[in-house]
Amino acid sequence: MFQSLFESGLAPHGICLLWDPALLWLHATSDLLIGISYYVIPLGLAWLTIRRRDLIFGWMFWLFALFILACGTTHFMDVWVLWHPDYGVQGLLKAFTAVASVLTASLLWVIVPRLLAIPTPEQLKRVSNQLTEETVRHERTAEQLRRSEESFRLLIESVRDYAVFMMDRAGRITSWNVGAQNITGFRQDEIIGQHYARFFTPEDQAGGKPMRMMVTAEAEGVCHDEGWRVRKDGTLFIADSTIHSIVDDDGVLIGFSKVTRDITQRRQAERDLEQARSALAQSQKMQAVGQLTGGIAHDFNNMLTAVLGGVELIETAREAVSPSVARTIRMIRRAADHGAELTTRLLAFSRKQTLIPGITDLNRLVSETMELLRRTLGNSITLEMELSSDVWPIFVDANQVEAALLNLAVNARDAMADGGTLTITTGNIHLDEQYSRHHDEIASGDYAFIAVRDTGCGMPSDVLEHALEPFYTTKGVGKGTGLGLSQVYGFVKQSGGHVELQSRVGAGTTVMMYFPRSHAEAAVAGQAVSRSGPALPTGTEKILIVEDEEEVRAYSVTAARHLGYDVIEARDAQTALSLLQEKAGISLLLTDVGLPGVDGRDLARMAQSAHPALKIVFTSGYAQPTLAELGLLDRGVRLLPKPFRIEDLAHALRSALDADRGDTDEGTKASG
């Protein structure tokens, strides 16, 4: 059959047109033009599909191109068969074209619904508009977010007192604020990327604290800590810090935030306050104890004055006594002397001893005490001195400084049973406001100091806490009274100074005595008062003795009469004033300062205004500063501290009676 298709013998198609040139031209030209156009169309389609690879249904274009190409070829074939009768080839070509056409047509029905699903340009425009709006909205939100982030960053940046920074999961720093730089000293470019453990002390690092804190923060969400941290320059500060874990929406840890505050100053202030509070409590306790002991000592003094005076009167009486009575009297005297010594020490503690201060050169005083101290310490202890030149002069009772030194030396000796070294240092120091805030009762200013340092056993803190209190001793019964340090403390305080104890078990003890600097020139170190004379000065003048204590009055009256004076007595100021009015020729008033009702000071003032020539002698169990306030010192007034002996009384009365008003007599006059 196929063979018959290619058999010749058929007439060319032109014959059908009767070789009419017009018809031939018309058919040939039209078919050629159609054929050429049909060939050009696939080229265009190929161009399009090659260039636009994203074209949907691109294969459809290729199929269409093939179909058109086949159509074009049939038209060329139509021209060919006008002269050549190859109808078999033409038929096959048509068959091929038919297949291409059917394929294209049927596929078109398949893809048209799909093509219809593709949005129209109108729809696309609408969608595009929506997209534009969406984009604008999105940009606006992004801008707001950016602004909010910026203001949040500025907020964090402006925090200057808190270090606020972020860390990654491993603890490496990823952000840093000004506060962090202020507190730690690190700039942002120096610290980003570093591990936060570098702020911890070497001990904390070795103990794994930074890691522990991160683990806690991860497990519990937060970790709080207060402790020492290290700055860039190596200095330490106390940090109050909090670490929070940061997790994403799925709860996965992405890092940590850390907020740290430097609370060094606050802690310091709290410690200062605590220290000041305990110093105040300590000083209030000492004051209360001082007041109590002072009161007791004062009353005992009065009684002892009577006892000692009574004993002295018996001893100086001419009547002979039996040896056993004499022994008893000696025993009474020894006991009373001992009591008087004890009350003196108690008065010293309660800052009420009679002081005779003078401008003193500490170095000279210490040098003069050397020999005594050496003898006290014995051979097993080395005594060393470190006297700084130009120690400021001080206004103190030099005898009491010596007594204090001796007291401290005895304590040091007891603490160095197996020998050691005692070092006495002198020097100048300025105690500033801060020091005075932490030590109650001490004003800031210039002080000269003596430090007594031993290499002995030292004191545990509970002993140190109580060592200054009277009767506190760790020494066995009969070995220590516990009054040594109390006496030193009271004396130094009374002199306007300050005592500081530093001691550690096994490391020895240092006792510092600070005395306020005096701006007068140092004159003589030590002003021992000589009160002994071969015979007691006597007199016959009329004197008035005012004393509320029965025993003391009885003793004073008897003693004065013993000295030859014409004595009248009164137990209070009222009686004294009326006696002064009634009795003529009273030359001297001997009065106790502490009288009930009108006190001795007012009595003296009133008496002197009525009798300007009247001489005054005060007796008192208390100390100088109280009497210094009398305002009568430069008017020939004398002070007779209790307990007093007959010879003290004799000297006081005589020197007051013999003095012209306005002169002074260093021996018996109260100074200061």
Ligand X SMILES: Nc1ncnc2c1ncn2[C@@H]1O[C@H](COP(=O)(O)OP(=O)(O)OP(=O)(O)O)[C@@H](O)[C@H]1O
Positions touching ligand X (CB under 6 A) are 411-412, 415, 454, 456-459, 463, 467, 472-475, 480-486, 509
**What 8-state DSSP symbol labels residue 260?**
E
Q: How near is the Cβ of 468 to ligand X at its closest, in Å?
A: 7
Residue with tokens 């002003």: 527
**What 8-state DSSP symbol labels residue 268?**
H
Cβ proximity to Mg ion: between 411 and 608 the closer is 411
Residues 6+ apart with CB under 8 A from 132: none
How do strand 420-431 and strand 445-454 relate by DSSP bridges? antiparallel
Cβ proximity to Mg ion: between 484 and 641 the closer is 484
> Which region among 4-12, 107-115, 423-431, 476-484 touches Mg ion (by CB under 5 A)?
476-484
> Which region among 186-194, 292-300, 406-414, 435-443 touches Mg ion (by CB under 5 A)?
406-414
Q: How near is the Cβ of 485 to Mg ion at its closest, in Å?
A: 6
Residues 18 and 27: beta-carbon distance below 8 Å: no
Q: How near is the Cβ of 441 to ligand X at its closest, in Å?
A: 19
How do strand 381-387 and strand 253-262 relate by DSSP bridges? unpaired
- Return the one option of ligand X, Mg ion, none that residue 522 interacts with (CB less than 5 to 8 A, by type): none
Give the residue from 668, 646, 644 showing the smallest Cα distance to 304.
Answer: 644
Residues 204 and 174: beta-carbon distance below 8 Å: no
Cβ proximity to ligand X: between 484 and 496 the closer is 484
- Return the one option of ligand X, Mg ion, none that residue 359 interacts with (CB less than 5 to 8 A, by type): none
Q: What residue spans of 202-263 are helical by DSSP H?
A: 202-206, 209-220
Cβ proximity to ligand X: between 415 and 580 the closer is 415
- Which of the residues 602 through 631 are near Mg ion (CB under 5 A)? none
In angstroms, the CA 594 to CA 157 distance is: 71
Residue with tokens 């699903």: 117
Q: How near is the Cβ of 511 to Mg ion at its closest, in Å?
A: 11
Closest-by-Cβ residue to Mg ion is 484
**What 8-state DSSP symbol labels residue 265?**
H
Residue 39 three-state SS: helix
In angstroms, the CA 213 to CA 615 distance is: 83
The full 3-state SS of 534-582, as one line of letters, equals: CCCCCCCCEEEEECCCHHHHHHHHHHHHHCCCEEEEECCHHHHHHHHHH
Q: How near is the Cβ of 411 to Mg ion at its closest, in Å?
A: 4
- Return the one option of Mg ion, ligand X, none that residue 482 interacts with (CB less than 5 to 8 A, by type): ligand X
> Which region among 74-82, 96-104, 296-304, 478-486 touches Mg ion (by CB under 5 A)?
478-486
Query: Cβ–Cβ contacts within 10 Å for residue 278, how many?
Result: 13
Cβ proximity to ligand X: between 77 and 483 the closer is 483
In angstroms, the CA 132 to CA 584 distance is: 126
- Return the one option of ligand X, Mg ion, none that residue 625 interacts with (CB less than 5 to 8 A, by type): none
How many chain residues interact with Mg ion (CB under 5 A)? 2
Cβ proximity to ligand X: between 100 and 412 the closer is 412
Contacts for 329-334: CB closer than 8 Å, 24+ residues apart: 332/307, 333/308
Cβ proximity to ligand X: between 140 and 475 the closer is 475
Q: How near is the Cβ of 471 to ligand X at its closest, in Å?
A: 8
Cβ proximity to ligand X: between 82 and 485 the closer is 485
> Which region among 12-20, 305-313, 451-459, 479-487 touches Mg ion (by CB under 5 A)?
479-487
Residues 453 and 418: beta-carbon distance below 8 Å: no
Cβ proximity to ligand X: between 393 and 497 the closer is 497
- Return the one option of ligand X, Mg ion, none that residue 125 interacts with (CB less than 5 to 8 A, by type): none
Q: How near is the Cβ of 407 to Mg ion at its closest, in Å?
A: 6
Q: How near is the Cβ of 373 to Mg ion at its closest, in Å?
A: 14
- Return the one option of ligand X, Mg ion, none that residue 271 interacts with (CB less than 5 to 8 A, by type): none
Closest-by-Cβ residue to ligand X is 484
Residues 6+ apart with CB under 8 A from 534: none
CA dihedral 132, 134, 139, 141 (to 10 degrees): 160
- Return the one option of ligand X, Mg ion, none that residue 415 interacts with (CB less than 5 to 8 A, by type): ligand X
484 binds Mg ion (CB under 5 A): yes
Q: How near is the Cβ of 438 to ligand X at its closest, in Å?
A: 22
Residues 656 and 619: beta-carbon distance below 8 Å: no
Q: How near is the Cβ of 285 to ligand X at its closest, in Å?
A: 16
- Return the one option of ligand X, Mg ion, none that residue 472 interacts with (CB less than 5 to 8 A, by type): ligand X
- Return the one option of Mg ion, ligand X, none that residue 194 interacts with (CB less than 5 to 8 A, by type): none
> Which region among 44-52, 273-281, 409-417, 643-651 touches Mg ion (by CB under 5 A)?
409-417
Give the residue from 19, 185, 10, 163 showing the smallest Cα distance to 84.
Answer: 10
Cβ proximity to ligand X: between 255 and 484 the closer is 484
Q: How near is the Cβ of 475 to ligand X at its closest, in Å?
A: 4
Report phi then psi at 515, rounded to 5: -125, 140
411 binds Mg ion (CB under 5 A): yes
Cβ proximity to Mg ion: between 179 and 484 the closer is 484
Residue type for position 369: T
Q: How near is the Cβ of 460 to Mg ion at its closest, in Å?
A: 17
Cβ proximity to ligand X: between 412 and 451 the closer is 412
Sheet holding 253-262, edge to edge: 162-168, 253-262, 236-247, 222-230
User: Residue 585 CA to chain centroid, in angstroms?
Assistant: 70
In angstroms, the CA 508 to CA 454 distance is: 5
User: Residue 125 CA to chain centroid, in angstroms?
Assistant: 72
Phi-psi region of 246 (alpha: psi -120 to 50; beta: other; left: phi over 0): beta
Q: How near is the Cβ of 537 to ligand X at its closest, in Å?
A: 37
Cβ proximity to Mg ion: between 277 and 475 the closer is 475
Report phi then psi at 570, rounded to 5: -145, 150
Q: How near is the Cβ of 521 to ligand X at its closest, in Å?
A: 34
- Return the one option of ligand X, Mg ion, none that residue 88 interacts with (CB less than 5 to 8 A, by type): none
- Return the one option of ligand X, Mg ion, none that residue 86 interacts with (CB less than 5 to 8 A, by type): none
Cβ proximity to Mg ion: between 412 and 637 the closer is 412
Cβ proximity to ligand X: between 362 and 459 the closer is 459
In angstroms, the CA 638 to CA 667 distance is: 10
- Return the one option of ligand X, Mg ion, none that residue 228 interacts with (CB less than 5 to 8 A, by type): none
Q: How near is the Cβ of 408 to Mg ion at its closest, in Å?
A: 8
DSSP string of 145-202? HHHHHHHHHHHHHH--SEEEEEEETTSBB----HHHHHHH---HHHHTTSBGGGGB-H
- Return the one option of ligand X, Mg ion, none that residue 262 interacts with (CB less than 5 to 8 A, by type): none
Contacts with Mg ion by CB under 5 A lie at 411, 484
